[in-house]
A and B are shown apart, each in its own frame.
Chain A
């Protein structure tokens, strides 16, 4: 066999030698194709596994950690029939397909993550997205934004799963390689959780849903390469989505799961039938034998390797007892879907593909799922790290004309309202959405209880680039803070780790540092990692994206009717800033706006201060009229957003030592939130603040935003001017 043959499957010579050693013979073409996709980065996590082991993955509320279709966290103990109420949740990337074909790439990314959730037996109830593009000065980036948003919207809207939150970020490091991360959350009672296990020798393997075609072949390998100019040729690697088919598949699957007709279930995602079959066998320690002649095909003349590697969407694999096959087929028939018995569970531990009586491939499933090499890549600190952290920020610190800066900053696409995006997402279908998009976190009510769950996705990639360890920790802290601002207790995270080529030591350094920072923060906040996804090779023409470990956080609130929102509520309420403001304009939106440069020291993060803020927000929630986290753009952006959303002005007046006006308003110090409080509740709130740093800023009221700082009038603008600039900024940039 020439090296061209194994490299065509994305395998290295070293990996090929490893395969020879494992199976003690030369693999045939089909077998090599199976190894190629199963040992791709996308399926095997070979370059990240060692590092991911550092994450905390267990805790009193963690019902299912990493390794299944999705993680599961307990929301409510014992209050409901069928066991504790749990959330199944996971986030995944679909970056490379979206770079080539934004609409289908984003749509199938959403479709894939939804299947992961209902494969756990959970009914999907919420979607969130985290999408990133190059700046909108390029029309291609605007086109990508429109296509991705339409793709996310059309899929979720048709499924009837509300898209309740997300983030939209613009930075030129994503030009050519946009990021599309989608998170789905479902509800399930603990006793009804299903797993992706092929147990019970003699049980039948059924393929249900759409027919298998040539689309998306080798998508997993494509996801594990860098992008370049020649990529329009890769369009055949992109899958095509059919949300109507998936809606039928969802209802039919939940119907057979609820009737307890299924032993194990898994969705077909990256690497299609190969990964789902091999993984289900691998987890159960059993074998799976598939007869390729029994797979319903959409087109003729498909080769066995094409059938096994196809990533046709809207398919699920089920393992069922032989006596249940007819019942399952009848349920799928009702929904006009195919359900075909294509193989059986065996006791030999092998993943076997046959055509009639002829064996085409037979490999121990564990070799495919567990024996990919675990690479600990060499890493080294990139040159930029020390250089950029020592940048001179005096221009920004000493900048004047605050009103003009403010009007410009709130209209930049990163700060401006994302209404253009979330208006295209149905956020209210399902009658569970209590806090809709546009706040710090979405809040959903939970059936059969007073409780609710809060959901947020976050990452400030500029921080991660400039200081990966601190930036990774801040991403977790901000997601937790967003959840806490609604009054909810952060419980657990999922993640999408988007990085460049891990074979480059500087990129691998970013990866190790960022995940170390995340692990430390997850420990500190007691929010274990229940799973996620690693997306490497996010590069375009050799230039990597900013390291972007997106965090998806789930929290629980005891009384959903008391969920706190960001808008100011009543004239005369007191406005306070909780937390300490330092001179931290490094890596800030303002510095970037003024200089076009990402540089300076990333704001400090003190876990104890952050946790104290969360506790305050959670315990005092019933007394707060509003709460809004301070993040990009500093406290002034937080204040303007609360005013714009509430439709109420503010009159603020305070003094701080040693901070220039620009630093006071635009510093991005962590662990802060702006709250508003009815006067009657103020004494109790101040009491709760006794051990925390805070500043009395002023009161809600009027139709202007007026700010007097250290005796000087800095801002006195009509709220309507600020609101218009903030509301129209994104669309104006399009």
Chain B
């Protein structure tokens, strides 16, 4: 299984994502945002960070990077795409996922471990978990307050596309406590918490490993 970690100027979780995917068994490559194609991969990771300094709006400039038109094409072909934190923000800007990530309620950057409930364990990203299982992952963001219009929310909830939900009061104010969502086809997932930071017990927990292990097992385009 081959994975690409896209590096935008300002990405800063690219090495962490590479390590986590390698630990799960992926053969991982970095792909620079100025490349025009990201061909031949089973998984494309858009890592966390501050692409283009978060200037204008989080993810708003990265979405126009040369690589992104091919990321959209690969997603349409069914390749697995995982957007973590800033990567999630880029996916919403690119229209691959609905909704938007607003400033945190309280306007402060938040860095802490949060409890998440796995709401849907039958996706290619979460098959290693059990439905309803609580896992702990770090968050580290200033703009994680998920919002979508009423119609969009109804669809997300009705179609089981809210994959991760904050188990307690969402610290960032996210609508319905939404921490991670998936597209209709089930091959594009965006999440604010960082699974790649909790893949080794020495770092406090291995609760995040499940995401990469699920993809190793089930992340083949159907």
Measured CB to CB, the residues of A under 8 A from B are 150, 153-154, 157-160, 242-245, 247-248, 334-336, 422-431, 433-434, 436, 445, 560-561
Contacts and interface: CB of A to CB of B under 8 A. Distances in A.
A448 B15 CA distance: 15
B50 A434 contact: no
Interface in B1-59: 9-10, 12-13, 15-16, 19-20, 32, 34, 48-50, 52-55
A429 B108 contact: no
Nearest to A436: B204
Contacts of A429: 12-13, 16, 48, 140, 197
A561 B201 CA distance: 9
Interface of B: 9-10, 12-13, 15-16, 19-20, 32, 34, 48-50, 52-55, 108-112, 138, 140, 142, 194, 196-197, 199-200, 202-204
Contact of A158 (B54, B196, B197): B54
Contacts of B12: 158-160, 247, 429
Nearest to A560: B202
Contact of A160 (B20, B49, B110, B199): B49
Contacts of B203: 428, 431, 433-434
B181 to A, nearest CB: 23
Contacts, number: 87
Nearest to A420: B108
B9 A335 contact: yes
Nearest to A146: B108
A445 B109 contact: no
B52 A244 contact: yes
Contacts of A335: 9
Contacts of A243: 50, 53
Contacts of A445: 202
Best-buried of A158, A334, A429 by chain B (most CB within 10 Å): A429
Of the candidates B53, B110, B196, B199, the one having the most CB atoms from chain A within 10 angstroms of its own CB is: B53
Nearest to B196: A431
* Residue of B34, B50, B110, B204 contacting most chain A CB atoms (<10 Å): B50
A431 B112 contact: no
A336 B34 CA distance: 11
7 contacts: A157-B50, A244-B50, A334-B34, A422-B111, A424-B108, A424-B111, A434-B202
Contacts of A336: 9
A424 B108 CA distance: 7
B127 to A, nearest CB: 24
B15 A430 contact: yes
B53 A244 contact: yes
A43 B121 CA distance: 60
Contacts of B50: 157-158, 160, 243-244, 247
A428 B19 contact: no
Nearest to A248: B9
B200 A431 contact: yes
Contacts of A422: 111
Contacts of A426: 109, 111, 140
B53 A431 contact: no
Given A431-B16, A431-B19, A247 B9 contact: yes
Given A244-B9, A247-B10, A335-B9, A427 B52 contact: no
A260 B127 CA distance: 46
A447 to B, nearest CB: 10
A335 B52 CA distance: 11
A424 B107 CA distance: 10
A556 B153 CA distance: 50
Given A158-B10, A159-B12, A429-B48, 16 more contacts: A150-B108, A157-B50, A244-B54, A247-B9, A247-B12, A336-B9, A424-B110, A426-B111, A426-B140, A429-B16, A429-B140, A431-B199, A431-B200, A436-B204, A560-B202, A561-B202
A727 to B, nearest CB: 13
A247 B140 CA distance: 18
Contacts of B199: 431
B210 to A, nearest CB: 17
Contacts of B34: 334
Given A244-B10, A434-B203, A560-B202, A428 B109 contact: no
Contacts of A433: 203
B16 A244 contact: no
Contacts of B32: 334
Contacts of B197: 428-429, 431
Contact of A423 (B15, B110, B204): B110
